[in-house]
Every structure is written in structure tokens, then in C-alpha cells.
Amino acid sequence: EAQVTQNPRYLITVTGKKLTVTCSQNMNHEYMSWYRQDPGLGLRQIYYSMNVEVTDKGDVPEGYKVSRKEKRNFPLILESPSPNQTSLYFCASSPAGPYGYTFGSGTRLTIV
């Protein structure tokens, strides 16, 4: 089944403890992206990648890191999480061209 898989689905952690949210797609898509979704603010793009080793900042990159060492994987790293990073996170991928993103199921992240 063609899909984007992100893990974990839910995570509660403490301020300052490094964490990684994994994202993997099995569709050989060139583009991958990370979003956060917050009430009243909608979806905001954190980082995106146009191919292996090619990444760029979205609208809210502060406090996040990404890497794209393989085409299928695009992990999101929070080096020192803070409570304002509590949010619903989505990973998404798409092929080149005018195609919509396929989204993962989301990660509900709570930082206390």
C-alpha cells in the first residue's frame, strides 16, 4: 500500500529532551515536507525537501532540524524541545509536478 508512515503517533515528553519523529514514504516521491497544525493558525510548513540532500526552510523552521539522506526518509529532529512546540505534526510527500501531497497520519506531540 502506498503510504507515508510517521512515528510515533503520540508522544509526551519533557522540555529539553531531544526527540526525533520519523517519516518514511514508499512511493519514490521526490518531495517531502513537514507541517505543524495549531488551532487558529492552521497548517504551517516547517521544512521541505526537493530531493536527497536538498532541504529548505518553510515558514516556521526555528527549533527544528531535518535531514534527507535517503529518498524515502525525512526525519524531524527537535534538539531541545520547548512547550511552544506542542502541536500536531504531519509529514507529507509528493512526486514532481502538479500533484497533491500524500500525508502521514500525524504525530500529536506534547512537551511539558
Partner 1 sequence: AQKITQTQPGMFVQEKEAVTLDCTYDTSDQSYGLFWYKQPSSGEMIFLIYQGSYDEQNATEGRYSLNFQKARKSANLVISASQLGDSAMYFCAMPPQGGNNRKLIWGLGTSLAVNP
Q: Which one, of 88, 107, 70, 91, lies nearest residue 3 by Cα? A: 91
Q: In the block, which residue shows the cell 508522544?
A: 11
Q: Can you tell me which of 2, 26, 83, 99 binds partner 1, judged by CB under 8 A?
A: 99
48 touching partner 1, by CB under 8 A: yes
Q: In the block, which residue shows the cell 535531514?
A: 67
52 touching partner 1, by CB under 8 A: no
Enumerate binding residues for partner 1 (CB under 8 A): 31, 33, 40-45, 48, 50, 56, 58, 88, 90, 92, 94, 97-106, 108
